Every structure is written in structure tokens, then in C-alpha cells.
A and B are shown apart, each in its own frame.
Chain A
């Protein structure tokens, strides 16, 4: 007799094997076993359903559930690739990278690294698609990552060049090659409720019509994805502003963070006054939005990821 572990491995392999293009159970599992033989060996038929049909119910429910989750979390990516290409990408990604978390919230966590390894699924819009993935993952992080106690505008008087600050864990800083924030807002600005989880079965997939984006002109943008009042916002940043924030998140002292972000030999006294006013304005804004927090020595310094700039907390 099969052990519990052996039975569960075989059933899980069958349940997680890709459906046919008609959303039916395939003739073979993802590792090449004949599906009908496996079903017949493990599952009792009844007077209305064969063993294979009973297994097929779970196979479909699995795929409908995980596909729905990606459709909900990455509507912008769907709009860029188009529904057919997006569906192919999701099936391939989920086949290679099934969920490793107890929550569907983390289902898309490996999507960017997977797409980097499988650029054919991004087609001619690969860079745009990866930018959108960065934004949509940052959106998820902004929705429910933790918040630390922020320093307020009054605390800014105590700031000195040696002081270290850090940023709220829910903030992601993104350096992007396309204006995907505008695209995402056009797709669906309101997809902020990641709270749907229950033990109910899913009857059908809701894949409503979404806008399509063709020939989006590139535009280098710097973005903070953050939340205010429990709503997620995308805020465009000046390049230097972005670099100061990155340096602060790395754990650099304020003085070094500012200096490294304004490296130029041609700075005139007149410019310095402008820069000083600009920096004071940034800090005031960040403090008002509750972005800045006290740095604790125990925090690991965050290194910049040169490949992409998602700063997941």
C-alpha cells in the first residue's frame, strides 16, 4: 500500500499538471505519467464520474485558483502582453514555480526572476513587462507590509549629517524604463483588496476586458510605491531625490546620502542654495508622509540591486 507521502506526491503532481488548452485534464502528468492510469489506480469512480473525471475536478480548481490570483495581482502585465500571451506566461510560470507559501499573496514573488530566465514570454515588450512586474509586486508589498513608527516634521530639527534614518518597510523605490505607473492607473487603480481567500471552490474565472498597450514610448522614471491611509500610491521622484532615499535605506548617514546623490564638480554657490532648499523640501515632504523612521544599528545595510531596483522590505 502507498504511504501517505507517496500518495500525496502522486496526487499533487496530477492536480498541479497543466490543463489542456480547452481547460480539461491532460492525458499525461507534467512528469509524463499517463493521467488516466494514475487516476484509476488511486481514485474510486462512482455511478456518474470516472476516476479521471473526479481527478479532473481538482485539477481544474487548482489552475483556476492560481491563475485567478495572478490575474488579480498583475492586471497591468496582462494589459501589456495581451490576454493570450499573459495566459501562456502564467501557465508556464506556475508550472515552473508552483506556490511555496501558505498564502496566495506571495504567488508572484518569483515572476520577475523567472521571466528574466524565460525572456521569450515577454516578447518584444520584455523590458516594459518586467518594469510592470516590479511595479505590481511593489504594489502588493505597499498594501500590507509592516509600518514602523515614523519621525515627524518636528523631529527634522534634530537631524545632523551623521544621523542615519531608514524608510518604511512598505515603501519600494523603483528605477524604471517605462512610465508603467500611468499604465497601471489606467488599467485598474482600485485593485487594492488582496483579501480574498476562503475554502470555497471557484466556479469560473473572471477575466474582464482590460486595456491594451501598444508601442509605449520609453521614459526613464523614478518611483516610490507607498501607502497613505491604507491606499497604495505611486509617487514620481526626482533622480537625486530617489538616490538620497536609496542611500538612506542602505543605512548611509544623511550627509553621505546627500553628497553621493549630488556628485558634480560644477556646483556653484548659487546652485548650492537651490539644492539646499530642494533637500529641505524633500525631507519635509517625506516626514509629512511618514516615510522616515529611526535607524537601528541592528538593521542590515541594504545593498543596491543593480539588475532591478525593487527594494522589498
Chain B
């Protein structure tokens, strides 16, 4: 299960997001890390420090690209300039697979720079799947889409979120980046059973898993990536990894970022579940 056609038949372990506050530590100390995930848009530039740092990282580490603004779910066509720059970066990093979100965020050429929730309709699934296929054909790399945290649901929805995820993944024949923290956040915001979601993901398509922390407010939970992973999310991770098998896993920590060692140690907590799942599969 871990090495499949949606993650380029790789068997990556536990990774962390490459973030600016850790650059110096990584380049000077050269810590042992299975892999780094980069935010593609941060490196889709023409030159300067971002690309110089990336090239140094690529000399030593495996890197996977994760995007935040492809907006497969937007009704408007894919942005060709975005795709062209993304392809140049794909060639640079040789990422074995590429991820972005199952969401929308632009309309009429205006960008919200947010991950807006999809209406779970058959029309939206068809539009999204077609755009994923177009992007994959152009980029020539497997694509996996990530379920997002959401704070609103639309009246027009015709299915559950996990049914929508299955519908899109099936029609696009793409992979899934399963974010168990996002499942937890959305389950609390929308009153559904997170375990039922995990039980219904297309396990054979899961290319990667995300774990992260979040922030609780009185009436809702926000996906802030600024805390350690809480126990209920680890339990969901355990459930997912038992179902899917040991899968490339990445910890996201994007705000109030602690030391590299603290972030890495938090990510490595996933190992205990991966090992149990690996034994169970034998």
C-alpha cells in the first residue's frame, strides 16, 4: 500500500515541512530527515534566495511539492502561467508526486488565497476531476488531492465530503493526500463521525498523510498548524494507517514555529503507529 502509482512507487517515511526559520539549522547541522515537503508557490520564483536554498536542500534530501493555489475546484480554467512555473519547479525538484487541495479559491481571475470548501455536487466533482487530469497530463507527475478543513457547508451539496472525495478521485484517477487533522477539524465543525470518514476514503489511492495541530475556539475549530498534534488526531492517524498501511507522513507546522528539533520530534511520534501497522500487514 505505501508505494503506489499515486506516489511514484516510493516508500518515503516521516517528513516535515521545509520552513524559513529552519533553513540555517538544516543547512548547517544536516539533520537526518526522511523527506521535506515544500510549499510549491514559495519556490515558483525566478531566482534569489528561495531557489538557492532549495537547491542546497535538494542536494541532500528528498523533497515533495505541496501546492496551495492550484484550485482544482474553481469553475474557471487552470491558470496556464501557474502550470508553466509549477512544471519548471517539478523538473527542478524531481518530486515523485505532487499535491494540492480539493478546494476552490479563485473566480473571474480574482484570488482569495484561501482554501474555500467545495459544494459537494456531481457538477463540481466533474469539473474538479477534469482539471486534475489536465494538470497531471501537463505536469507529467502523479497528483494527489488533499481534503481541507472547512467551516461552512453548502445547501446545494448532494453527498458527504468523503463521497465527494471518492467521486473526484475516481473520475480523475488521482491519488489522495489524507489530512487526518483536517478530518478532525471538519468533523467537529460539521458534526460528523471522523472515523466514518476515514473508513470510507479510497485506501488504495492514498499517496500521503498529513498530521498537524489546530486551535479551538468556543464555537468552532480553526486549522492553524501552530500546535502539536492532539491525541484524538493521533487516534485518527492510527486508524488511517491501519487501514491504508504505512504511508509517507508529514507534519505541518506553519505558525509559531518552534525549533527544528521540536518539530521533527513531534513528527517522529508517527513512527510508533507506522511500525504497528507494518507488523499488522506482515
The answer to whether A and B come from one shared complex is yes
Task: List residues of chain A with CB under 8 Å of any chain B CB.
Answer: 1-5, 7-9, 11-12, 15-16, 41-44, 46-49, 51, 53-55, 57-58, 61-62, 65-66, 69, 98-105, 142-147, 169-170, 192-193, 195-203, 227, 230
With contacts A4-B119, A62-B114, A198-B225 known, is A44 near B219, CB below 8 A? no
With contacts A7-B119, A102-B111, A198-B39 known, is A43 near B47, CB below 8 A? no
Question: A7 to B119, alpha carbons, bound, how many Å?
Answer: 9
Please give the distance in Å from B160's CB to the nearest CB on chain A: 13
Contacting A at CB under 8 A, from B192-221, are: 212, 215, 219-220
Question: A16 to B151, alpha carbons, bound, how many Å?
Answer: 16
Q: Nearest 9 A-B pairs (CB), nearest first?
A: A146-B46, A200-B225, A230-B49, A144-B48, A5-B75, A198-B254, A144-B45, A200-B254, A54-B152
Contact B68 A199 (CB under 8 A): yes
Chain A residues with CB under 8 Å of B114's CB are: 15, 58, 61-62, 65
Give 8 A-B pairs besides A15-B112, A103-B44, A200-B252 with Cβ atoms closer than 8 angstroms: A8-B104, A58-B152, A69-B113, A193-B20, A197-B39, A200-B212, A201-B222, A230-B49
Chain A residues with CB under 8 Å of B41's CB are: 102-103, 197
Please give the distance in Å from B97's CB to the nearest CB on chain A: 17
B60 within 8 A of A: no
Stretch touching chain A among B121-129, B235-243, B267-275? B121-129
Question: A145 to B222, alpha carbons, bound, how many Å?
Answer: 35
Chain B residues with CB under 8 Å of A61's CB are: 114
Contact A8 B151 (CB under 8 A): no
Contact A44 B110 (CB under 8 A): no
Chain B residues with CB under 8 Å of A15's CB are: 112, 114, 116
Task: List residues of chain B with CB under 8 Å of any chain A CB.
Answer: 17, 20, 39, 41-42, 44-52, 68-70, 74-76, 79, 81-82, 101, 104, 106-116, 119, 121, 123-124, 127, 148-149, 151-156, 189-191, 212, 215, 219-220, 222-226, 252, 254-255
Which residue in chain B gives the minimum CB-CB distance to A65? B113
Chain A residues with CB under 8 Å of B106's CB are: 12, 102
Contact B151 A145 (CB under 8 A): no
Contact A99 B110 (CB under 8 A): yes
Contact A58 B116 (CB under 8 A): yes
Question: A58 to B104, alpha carbons, bound, how many Å?
Answer: 13
Contact A46 B189 (CB under 8 A): yes
Chain A residues with CB under 8 Å of B116's CB are: 8, 11-12, 15, 58
Please give the distance in Å from B224's CB to the nearest CB on chain A: 5
Question: A142 to B48, alpha carbons, bound, how many Å?
Answer: 8
Chain A residues with CB under 8 Å of B44's CB are: 102-103
Question: A253 to B69, alpha carbons, bound, how many Å?
Answer: 43
Residue from B42, B44, B76 having most chain A Cβ neighbours under 10 A: B42
Contact B155 A200 (CB under 8 A): no
Contact A200 B255 (CB under 8 A): yes
Contact A4 B75 (CB under 8 A): yes
Which residue in chain B gives the minimum CB-CB distance to A57? B151
Please tell me which one of the listed residues B48, B81, B112, B127 contacts residue A230 in the complex, with CB atoms under 8 A apart: B48
